[in-house]
Amino acid sequence: MDKEKIHGIVEAQREFFRSGATLPVKFRIEQLKKLKQAVIQNSRKLEDALCEDLGRAPLEAYFCDIGSTLMEINEAIKGLRRWARPETHFSGLHCFPSVTTKVYKMPYGVSLIISPFNFPVFLSLGVLVPAIAGGNTAIIKASSKSARCTAVLKEVLAGIFPENYVTVIDGGHDVADMCLAERFDKIFYTGSPKVGVHVLSEAAKNLTPTALELGGETGNWCVVRKDADLKDAARKIAFFKILNAGQICININQVAVAKEVAADFLEELKKAFVSQIGEDPVHNPEYPHLINKAAYDKCVANAEPYKDRIVFGGTGDEATCKYAPTIIYPVDSSEEIVRKELFCPLLPVVPFEDSEVEKVLGTIAEREHGLSLYIFTKDVAWAKKTMQRMQYGGGCINEVCLHMMVKGAPFNGVGHSGMGAYHGKWGFMEFTHPQTVLIGSTKFNLPLREHPYSKGRKDRLIRMIEK
């Protein structure tokens, strides 16, 4: 893949878009149905690829990537006609006699989707769905780290879509930069804040509308108060940290737990890890591995300075890139390990006095906005108020991660955790822009807006509008 080839694909897609072929809603629904059948027919191949790239068990692969993609497609097929319907607005008396205005939901055009390695199927196809639903063409720059999944995606999509409509491009950062050098009409990037800054700066050269889904510079917090159901909290937190070996943008980066219950919580968390993944997770075939040796080495390096405070886990296998879920306790909120996104199975635990929970929330608020926030407490009224005044992408009270699977609800970030939103109708809106068109009348036009303003009753009549 080189600059000339990429440029040729972009121009071919632009020509296809300008033909108007993608505009009819019927066409878009037909393409979504093709995509659905292709995912179903190749589900086993996709599961095998996810196992090869990330060590995912078949059920985890289906639950996180394949099933979630099918849910997204189904929602788009069901809702698209309603979402795409033009809105009709009364123009207002000040526009008389042109009283009808339409708002059309127009596609941007040629879109670029840059997807990451951690959920290579869902974060490619799950974004392609709203791109198609919005009436765009799409180039997917898939991750070179999840090479097998990228190869399968390339094969599957080439089997159902022509290259001038939807295509997958593989390669490393150099290829991504070649793509970003092209003039796109919409860019959607999922990944790290550092690369997000680069993507946004390149997009700014052409003033290209850009959506960013980022992990957050300092990671996502989970707060466990003294009145929480500790067993329930531990069970859910353990599940989430095991999932994809912690390589999830909305995963818990660190837990703040009330000192009054810290010892009990740690015991419950250890039991939950053992119950779900066994006493030797590194050799459990269902436990995923880190994406590559560089990620494994980074995990080891982050754990090394805290080896005297590892109270659970701390073991790994370099040959398989598996590292056990690891609890580090106690950790102060000012330490380096809780000032960056870890993206691995390490779990620092920060103790605090329950009466000083506002200090913890203040610390969270001072740092870059996370993609998620989780709170465990029996005081749901307090938790609701807290969730409504903090700044983050999305989150849960007494639960983890499920907020991103709710139909009709947006998934988004803010600041260093991103901009824009998708899933369901929100994804359709992300890949379209509202186009306001007033339908003028050629009859009964009054000269109120025209010069001269010094004659007649124009002043009094025009100022009546505000009443």
- Tell me the per-residue pLDDT of 338-383, one tens digit each, with 9 for 90 and over: 999 999 999 999 999 999 999 999 999 999 999 999 999 999 999 9
Instruction: Quote the pLDDT of residue 447.
Output: 75
- With cut-offs at 50, 70 and 90, classify the pLDDT of residue 92: confident
Record the pTM. 0.96
Question: Which candidate in 64, 149, 222, 249 is catalytic?
Answer: 249
**Residue 453 predicted with pLDDT over 90:** no
Tell me the per-residue pLDDT of 299-336, one tens digit each, with 9 for 90 and over. Answer: 999 999 999 999 999 999 999 999 999 999 999 999 99
Radius of gyration of the CA atoms of the chain, in A:
26
Determine whether 213 is an active site residue.
yes
**3-214, what's its fold?**
Aldehyde Dehydrogenase; Chain A, domain 1 (3.40.605)
**290 neighbors 55 (Cβ within 8 angstroms):** no
Taking the CB of residue 358, how many other CB atoms lie within 10 A of it?
10
Please state which architecture CATH assigns to domain 220-407: 3-Layer(aba) Sandwich (3.40)
pLDDT above 70 for 467: no
Instruction: Tell me if domain 3-214 and domain 220-407 are identical in fold.
Output: no
Q: Which is the catalytic residue, given 60, 72, 213, 217?
A: 213
Dihedral sign computed on CA atoms, order 242, 243, 248, 250 = negative
Q: Is 344 a catalytic residue?
A: no
Distance, CA of 333 to CA of 343 (rounded, Å): 18
Specify the residue for token string 């010892």: 263
> 126 near 211, Cβ under 8 Å?
no
Contact call for residues 67 and 142 (beta carbons, < 8 A): no
- Return the domain boundaries, the chain: 3-214, 220-407
Task: Band the pLDDT of 445: cuts 50, 70, 90.
Answer: confident
Question: Taking the C-alpha atoms of 56, 60, 61 and 67 in order, what is their torsion angle to the nearest 10 degrees?
Answer: -170
Average per-residue pLDDT in the chain?
A: 96
The set of residues, in sequence order, having a beta carbon less than 8 Å from that of 8 and lying 6+ positions away, is: none
Percent of the chain's residues with pLDDT above 90:
92
